[in-house]
Structure formats: structure tokens, C-alpha cells
Amino acid sequence: MLLKITNGLQVLLLTALSQQPETLVDFLVVGGGVVGLAIAQRLTKAYPKKLTCLVERHSRNGEETSSRNSEVIHSGLYYPPDSLKTRLCLRGRDLLYAHCKSHDIPHKQTGKLVVARRDQVDYIQKLYHKSKGFQSSSYFRQIDPSSKVVLPTELISGHEARQMEPELSEDIVAALWCPKTGILDSHTFMQSLEKDISESGSGEIVQGTTVVRIDKHDKPATTRHSPSEVVRECGWVVQLSSNGTNDAVFARTLINASGLSSPLVLNSILDPEHRLPMFFARGSYASYHGPGIANIKHLIYPCPHTGPNAHAFESLGTHLTLDLQGKVRFGPDIEWMDPSQDILDGDESDVDFWTRHLTPDESRMVQMHKAVTEYLPNVIPGGFRPDYVGIRPKLIPPDGGFQDFVVRIDHCTPEAARDRVNPMISLLGIESPGLTSSLAIAEEVVDKYVVAFGNQV
């Protein structure tokens, strides 16, 4: 399950020949998923006189994790109160609802039930008390000063839950009602960010372009667009490849938001002993057509199997979500992957090894049906159909406990670190609730880290 740092995947970004940069940009964002798009959009708004360029290796944005998830607007319930995941999810939730309204993005605040059997009541009670504790935090009150409740929740009985969702099992004795949870059209959301960037006048999106090498830069260089301009500042020379053509860009600030490849991009500038291991988990989704889901109107989440842990750190369980047309789907489950086997079986420089694991597996339907019947007893095995698969970037192995979002800062020289200029900012381990948190992650990166490192409008 560990992608060894010595294999070809880690070396790939180090093998391309270095070129002199021919283009200069103020901000280069690597990765056109929802987080990269949100960051680039915020940069164009905050720095309209500076050039922001986003490069995406696929022919379309959002082809990886951003388009293979539940499309849920999470309420911010599950993670430790002092974590980035909680803070950015709560802030991102409100920013996302506001963005959906202002940009006419299809969405719906459905609400969510976290349902519990008798032996699980303690779990939802702890979630409830945690949500109420947010009110005593000055930070969380600042997220939405107009709201009296940062994270509204209500403990209800099993009978009350069945009044809301009559198909629920009689074994469900209690539930936690979370009205702030919702769903959205993630593709329309990403298109709105693309449109904002493209129409900004200071932003550019370049697709079908792969980063093949990154070098720390601290020597004179001229640029193709301004041959008389000599760059003598610390920054990053990024070698790009597109349709067999190579180019080099000098970026004053480099933002690594490449999702599944973020550790790989970061590792390319690190000494071998300091490189990060990479882990991946596969999540399968199923569509459902059949009995046992009549008139479902809310998202339904079981209590996760947390074992010795107090939180749902690895997976929230096989839950029920709805799309905007009211169709039911279940998932994701969790299945840890072993990339090293792909390296042995195929081309060791294939950074897209995970794409060979995107075919839905019929055999997963048996386990999924068993998990769902714990709270919806009348669903039938024949109603489950494999739908799609998503891959989650992980920074820790199975049973590793809680792993927060990571925002890491690197510099090209000790002097640049001292003077706090021109960083490389890496976003690592951005899995769920990454979609919900995306606008808040962008706010955090741009308003806190980019500003802190010497950028002015």
C-alpha cells in the first residue's frame, strides 16, 4: 500500500532536461481540479494586475477526484474541532452555498440524517455535543456572524427519523439531523470557476499540459515576452510538456494543487530522505433501482465503523446520497490500493496507474448491499448496479488515525525563506470534504499564505 519513493513514479519529474524559462508568470497553479480552479479564481480577483496561469495535464479540468465523488455539500460535522478539515469545511460550506446562488449553479439543501442503532447512540451524541461546542469558539462565530448557530444539529428519536424517512429500519433508535448538508452539480460549479478565470483578464487556463520537471531558480534569465527583462529573483522554473512540445515557465509563486499527484510534484524538489510516501484508497459507488427507498428526500449516513478511533477518519460508511434529479446512489465504500503491484506489472513511469482501477467491480455490490441493509432493510441485491469509482489521495496508511488537510510551504533558497518571498505552496491530502472546502481552501491559500509571502496588489 506504500508507493516506494525510489520507484519510477517518484523519479519521473526529475528526468526531463532543464530549459531556460521563456515565459514569466506571477502565479502558476498546477492542477485543474476544484481546489486548483478555486485558488486560481481567487488569485485573479485578488491580484488583477498580475498574471495567474493554471496548467492541467488532462484535456478537461476536474477529471480526477473532483468529478468522482458524492457531490455533497458537507455540514462540517465529523472531524476534530481544531482541524483544518473542520474549519475549512464550515467556512467552505457557506461560501459554496453563496457561490451556487450567485452563479445559478444547481444545488439543493437536502439535510442529512446520521442514523444509529442502540449500540451507536453514543457516537451521534458525541457529534451533537461537538457541534454545539462550536458556538463557544470565537473563530467559528466569525464564519457567519449573522447566524446564531454555526453548525445546527438536532438529536431525534428513531420514530421521528422514520417520520422523515419511513423506509428506515426499526433497529434505528436515534438519529442526528443536520439541516445544512446539501448536494450540488460539481461540474457546473467547476465551469463557473473556469469562466471567472477566463474572463478575468489576468488568468489563463492551459489544458493537456504536464509538469515534467521543477527547479529552484536563483539566477538571471530573460523571458520570451520581454527579452530585455532580466529576472534576478528566487522562484521556480517549471518544465512543461504538451503534445510532444516542451516549454519552460518561470513562476514567482508556485501552487501545487495537483490532487493525486501532489506528493509526487513536491517530492521532485526534495532530497530522497525527505520525500513523502503516497497512499491511495479506492471508493466504489452504486446506483440503485428497486424497493426500500420510496420517497427518499434526505441524505442518510450510517454511523461508521470506527473501531478504537473516536472519529470516522477513513470512511463515513456506505451512505445514501441523491442527485439533483432525485436518483439514489450508495457509496463510497473504501478499498486500500497497492500501487507497487502496478509498478511491477507495468511501466514504472506510469503516473496514471490508478486509472486502471476505475472500472466498477460487480463483486463490491454484495458487501454494499449488506452494509445498506443495516439501515434500509428492504433494499434488494438485484437493485444495485456498479456506477463509478473514485480514488482518494492519502498521506497515511490504513488504520493511521486522523490525517488533516496539509498546506506546506517550501522555498528555493534560505534567503527567500528569511525574506518570506516567492514560495511553493503544496496542498496535500485533499480528499473529502475537499469539494465543500474548496472555496475556503482558496481563501486560506490566497489571503493567508500568498499575502504573507510578500505579494501586493
Whether 335 and 282 have beta carbons less than 8 Å apart is answered as yes
* The predicted structure's pLDDT at residue 401: 87
Sort strands 384-394 and 335-336 into parallel, antiparallel or unpaired: unpaired
37 three-class SS: helix
Quote the pTM value: 0.90
Whether 378 and 340 have beta carbons less than 8 Å apart is answered as no
* The predicted structure's pLDDT at residue 51: 97
* The predicted structure's pLDDT at residue 18: 66
Radius of gyration of the chain from its Cα atoms, rounded to whole angstroms: 23
Q: Is the preceding omega at residue 48 within 30 degrees of 0, hence cis? A: no
Q: Determine the Cα–Cα distance for residues 380 and 26; give it in Å rounded to an integer.
A: 56
Residue/partner pairs of 153-158 with CB below 8 Å, 24 or more apart:
153/75, 153/77, 153/127, 153/128, 153/177, 153/178, 154/128, 154/179, 155/124, 155/125, 155/128
Whether 424 and 256 have beta carbons less than 8 Å apart is answered as yes
Grid coordinates given for 145: 456572524
Q: Determine the Cα–Cα distance for residues 239 and 250; give it in Å rounded to an integer.
A: 9
* The predicted structure's pLDDT at residue 311: 40
44 three-class SS: helix
Q: Determine the Cα–Cα distance for residues 339 and 325; give it in Å rounded to an integer.
A: 36
Q: Determine the Cα–Cα distance for residues 276 and 450; give it in Å rounded to an integer.
A: 23
Closest CA to 287 of 367, 382, 384, 389: 384
**Residue located via cell numbers 510551504:** 409
Through-space distance between the first and last CA atoms of the chain, rounded to whole angstroms: 44
Its CATH architecture, for the domain 19-109+181-277+399-456, is 3-Layer(bba) Sandwich (3.50)
* The predicted structure's pLDDT at residue 16: 56
Q: What is the pLDDT along the chain (457 residues), one digit of tens a residue?
A: 333 333 333 444 544 556 778 789 999 999 999 999 999 999 999 999 999 999 999 999 999 999 999 999 999 999 998 899 999 999 999 999 999 999 999 999 999 999 999 999 999 999 999 999 887 666 666 666 666 678 999 999 999 999 999 999 999 999 999 999 999 999 999 999 999 999 999 999 999 999 999 999 876 555 555 555 554 568 999 999 998 888 999 999 999 999 999 999 999 999 999 999 888 899 999 999 999 999 999 999 999 864 444 344 456 779 999 999 999 999 998 888 876 555 434 444 567 778 888 888 898 999 999 999 999 999 999 999 999 999 999 999 888 889 999 999 999 888 888 888 899 999 999 999 999 999 999 999 999 999 877 654 4
Q: Determine the Cα–Cα distance for residues 371 and 300; give it in Å rounded to an integer.
A: 13
* The predicted structure's pLDDT at residue 7: 36
* The predicted structure's pLDDT at residue 357: 86
Q: Determine the Cα–Cα distance for residues 184 and 66; give it in Å rounded to an integer.
A: 12
**To the nearest 10°, the Cα dihedral for 173, 178, 183, 189?**
-160
Whether 420 and 250 have beta carbons less than 8 Å apart is answered as no
For the chain, what is the total number of helices (H) and then of strands (E)?
13, 22
